[in-house]
Amino acid sequence: MNLPSFLKERGRLFWGVLGSGMVILLGVINYFLGSQLNTAFFYLIPISAVAWYAGREPGLVVAGLSAIAWFLTDVLTNYAYSSPWYLLGNALIRVGFFMGVTGLIVGLRKALKTNEELARTDFVTGAVSLRYFYELAQRELGRSDRYHHPFTFACIDLDDFKQFNERRGRAAGDQVLRSVADVVQHRIRNIDIFCRMGGDEFALLMPETGEVEAQSVVSRVRRSLLDEMKKNEWEMTFSIAVVTFIKIPKAVEDMVKMADDVMAPIKVGGKNAISFTLYQG
């Protein structure tokens, strides 16, 4: 496990203890060095780390502890102030500064997380985006190869979707896409990966799924999709190419190409069908 992953997986208690310990250590250092070293920058390290990884509340606690530690070192080292009001005023400024930094760090983290989620999700359907799918699929290929487990990949095309858009309009087309995504996502496992490849093409990656299981799952999904189209009076059918891999391909592109090769005869043969293939190398 790399360091960033390790840090992300630590809980609030871990960060609270670590941040508090760092603040105490900085306070001790500040006490012995007195006015010889300005420690403001160093207090920002535990504040920023805790706010980033643990959130607002733990960050504010560490920010408050940092201000208290700095205040106590001023008092204990008899730092020269012309008036005790300056001592109190500086303490309040530090509290505000440290808490402001905490708020900025938490806001930045939230914005980055939101951007990551948007980048990983298709805007129209809520399915996994193509870029994120390739990342997840490549991991699954490596895992399946390492443990010698089969997996199944299915491409789902909406037949004549362009003509549907021309007849019904783009809004109706988007509604169909959202309904397809909703139907599929409610009939697959949490470990399965459902993606919008683009336009009217979707993909479904099912880890640890052999040929028999794949036939059952995909057939059931297709029936549910057709039922949904009929219920909404949408003239839509589906062409589905399914490949179960016993021998694991090296790259996601290879996997997608094999499914495209299986899809081609379906399109030529009139669409609205499923084709199952077992790849053993």
**Separation between Cα atoms, residue 107 and residue 59, nearest integer Å:** 12
Select from 77, 102, 120 the last residue of a domain: 120
Residue 271 has φ and ψ, to the nearest 5°, of: 70, -170
Q: Say if residue 109 is in the same domain as residue 159.
A: no
Q: Say if residue 92 is in the same domain as residue 199.
A: no
| Predicted pLDDT at 266 | 96
Instruction: Give the total number of structural domains in the chain.
Output: 2
pLDDT value at 28 more than 90: no
On whether residue 125 sits in a domain, the answer given is: no
In sequence order, the β-bridge partners of residue 158 are 238
Q: Say if residue 115 is in the same domain as residue 11.
A: yes
Q: Say if residue 83 is in the same domain as residue 150.
A: no
Select from 92, 120, 148 the last residue of a domain: 120
Q: Say if residue 107 is in the same domain as residue 31.
A: yes
| Predicted pLDDT at 36 | 58
Q: Say if residue 37 is in the same domain as residue 162.
A: no
Q: Say if residue 157 is in the same domain as residue 62.
A: no
Select from 120, 146, 162 the last residue of a domain: 120
More reliable by pLDDT, 12 or 134: 134
Cβ–Cβ < 8 Å for 154, 203 = yes
Taking residues 204-223, what's their average pLDDT? 96
pLDDT bin (cut points 50, 70, 90) of residue 80 is low
| Predicted pLDDT at 1 | 53
| Structural domain that includes position 241 | 130-279
Cβ–Cβ < 8 Å for 30, 39 = yes
Q: Say if residue 77 is in the same domain as residue 100.
A: yes
pLDDT value at 189 more than 80: yes
**Separation between Cα atoms, residue 98 and residue 67, nearest integer Å:** 7
**Separation between Cα atoms, residue 255 and residue 154, nearest integer Å:** 10
In single-letter form, the type of residue at position 36 comes to Q
Q: What is the 8-class DSSP label of residue 35?
A: G
| Predicted pLDDT at 52 | 92
Q: Say if residue 162 is in the same domain as residue 268.
A: yes
Nearest to 154 by CA among 264, 52, 58, 277: 277
- Domain with 184 in it: what CATH number? 3.30.70.270
**Separation between Cα atoms, residue 207 and residue 246, nearest integer Å:** 11
Q: Say if residue 106 is in the same domain as residue 178.
A: no
pLDDT bin (cut points 50, 70, 90) of residue 236 is very high
